[in-house]
Amino acid sequence: MTADRIAVLAEVQEALHEGRAVVALESTIISHGMPYPTNVAMATEVEAIVRANGAVPATIAVLDGVCRVGLEADQLELLATHPAVHKATTRDLPWLLATRRHGATTVAATMRIAALADIEVFATGGIGGVHRGGALTFDVSADLAEFAVTPVAVVSAGIKSILDIGLTLEHLETLGVPVIVDGSDDFPSFYSRVSGFAAPRRLDGAEEIAAFMHAAWGPLQLTTGISVANPIPLADEIPAAQIEGVIAEALAELDRRGIVGQDVTPFLLGRIVEQTDGRSLTANVALVRNNAALAARIAVAFADLG
């Protein structure tokens, strides 16, 4: 990409140049995943957590048609408040660049821009996947297609049960994408440490995960991403039974309103926050914090491998 369409913040550029740890962060979670002002507070705090764990944060978005890798405080504020920030997956990026618009990048688009900037580790809340009923609607997040082709390790709290977790795991297996759970034999479901599905592969700690990344992308020359699931801390967990009713109600409302396409996920996320009086939001912030810390430790361990 030509230099005028991708702008890497000086601090991030320096760290990359010196082979120091950098962690990418997404922006759809800011613009379309959480309400203001929790979103900007979360984004700011998460950057500080990445730093406290020894890495440099690089929040990614598109502003005025330029891919930004690392943002200033006023740019985070814009993403958290501006009405004309488009939710952008990878296929939307050419439009944003060509027409000089603002875009909040999903997991897929963030992975793509991170890879262009040579960043290997990325922290988020939850990844997209196969929606419930996806076998009929074909509603499968473009995040999965991106995992198949972009070598970035994405630390999430697993998959929110607005999605079909079983079908998502099957789809990732078909695409040849490694799915790791840190420190647990269960695959987590975002608000909950369990999902009813086993961890496809368990590793324990940042060093083991960094060694896995090195094996995958070094000697084996795999070209896929790696999904690293990090269970929500016990104290912040919302038991699956408590959130299931809220999710069912949100899905029914989605049907009634006939919402489809890229509005589906933001609608469901918003409904869940409303229907749990913000309890889900508190849990969401807690798990993003937890993911940022693990991602930073992984980035440090991976940088140490040279």
Interaction residues for ligand PSU, span 84-103 (CB under 6 A): 89
Residue type, 178: P
In terms of DSSP bridges, do strands 22-25 and 121-123 run parallel, antiparallel, or are they unpaired?
Answer: parallel
Q: How far is the CB of 298 from Mn ion (least distance, A)?
A: 28
By a kind-dependent CB cut-off of 5 to 8 A, residue 259 interacts, out of ligand PSU, Mn ion, none, with none
Query: 61: which strand partners?
Result: 68, 104
Q: Does 143 bind Mn ion (CB under 5 A)?
A: no
Contact window for ligand PSU (CB under 6 A) among 26-34, 45-53, 63-71, 198-206: 26-34
Q: How far is the CB of 89 from Mn ion (least distance, A)?
A: 9
Q: Does 230 bind ligand PSU (CB under 6 A)?
A: no
**Backbone torsions φ then ψ of 206, nearest 5 degrees:** -60, -35
Task: Show the tokens assigned to 268.
Answer: 């469901």
Task: State how far the Cα of 174 lies from the Cα of 297, in Å rounded to an integer.
Answer: 29
**Backbone torsions φ then ψ of 23, nearest 5 degrees:** -120, 120
Q: Which of 75, 106, 74 is nearest to 91 (CA)?
A: 106
Q: Does 126 bind ligand PSU (CB under 6 A)?
A: yes
Q: Does 164 bind Mn ion (CB under 5 A)?
A: no
C-beta of 50 vs 264, nearer to ligand PSU: 264
Q: Does 128 bind ligand PSU (CB under 6 A)?
A: yes
Q: Does 146 bind Mn ion (CB under 5 A)?
A: no
Q: Which of 68, 102, 160, 271 binds ligand PSU (CB under 6 A)?
A: 160
Q: How far is the CB of 59 from Mn ion (least distance, A)?
A: 23
Task: State how far the Cα of 158 lies from the Cα of 54, in Å rounded to an integer.
Answer: 24
Residue indicated by tokens 């995992």: 147
Burial 156-183 (b: 16+ CB within 10 A, else e): bbbbbbbbbbebbbebbeeeebbbbbbe
Q: How far is the CB of 180 from Mn ion (least distance, A)?
A: 24
Query: 153: which strand partners?
Result: 121, 226
By a kind-dependent CB cut-off of 5 to 8 A, residue 27 interacts, out of ligand PSU, Mn ion, none, with none
C-beta of 262 vs 291, nearer to ligand PSU: 262
Task: State how far the Cα of 187 lies from the Cα of 197, in Å rounded to an integer.
Answer: 6
Q: Does 139 bind Mn ion (CB under 5 A)?
A: yes
Task: State how far the Cα of 283 lies from the Cα of 270, in Å rounded to an integer.
Answer: 14
Interaction residues for ligand PSU, span 237-266 (CB under 6 A): 262, 265
Tell me how far CA of residue 185 lies from CA of 59, 106, 197, 204, in angstroms.
31, 28, 9, 10
In terms of DSSP bridges, do strands 226-229 and 179-182 run parallel, antiparallel, or are they unpaired?
Answer: parallel
For 101, other C-beta atoms within 10 Å of its C-beta total 17
Q: How far is the CB of 145 from ligand PSU (least distance, A)?
A: 10
Annotated catalytic residues are 26, 160
Q: How far is the CB of 265 from Mn ion (least distance, A)?
A: 7
Site string for ligand PSU, 45-84 (x = CB under 6 A): ----------------------------------------
Contact window for Mn ion (CB under 5 A) among 43-51, 97-105, 131-139, 211-219: 131-139
Q: Which residues of this chain interact with ligand PSU, rule CB under 6 A?
A: 26, 28-29, 33, 89, 106-107, 125-126, 128, 141-143, 160, 190, 262, 265, 269
Contact positions toward Mn ion, by CB under 5 A?
139
